[in-house]
Amino acid sequence: MKTNVDSIDLTLRIIGGLAILGAGYFYQSWLGLVGLVPLVTATFRVCPAYLPFGLSTCARAKQKD
């Protein structure tokens, strides 16, 4: 799979994922596990939600257009 997550998007996903996990831990809620989704997409640098629409935040993909 081609990467479609650039550095700014990657940073926001990590911060957001950690914040959601932290809130879940703080409130003792299983919903905090939703924070794993942005962390996993940041780890692999592929967002499955971008694929059907052909979206990408990578600079090299934007230069092709």
Name the residue type at position 39: L
Question: Token pair of 51, please?
Answer: 């694929």
Q: What is the mean pLDDT of each run of 10 residues along the chain (65 residues)?
A: 91 97 97 97 94 86 47
Domain extent listing, the chain:
7-64
- pLDDT number for residue 1: 79
- Residue (of 65, 20, 18, 35) closest to 57 by Cα position: 65
Spatial contact of 23 and 64, defined as CB atoms under 8 Å apart: no
- pTM for the full predicted model: 0.83
- pLDDT number for residue 59: 79
Spatial contact of 54 and 2, defined as CB atoms under 8 Å apart: no
Spatial contact of 4 and 39, defined as CB atoms under 8 Å apart: no
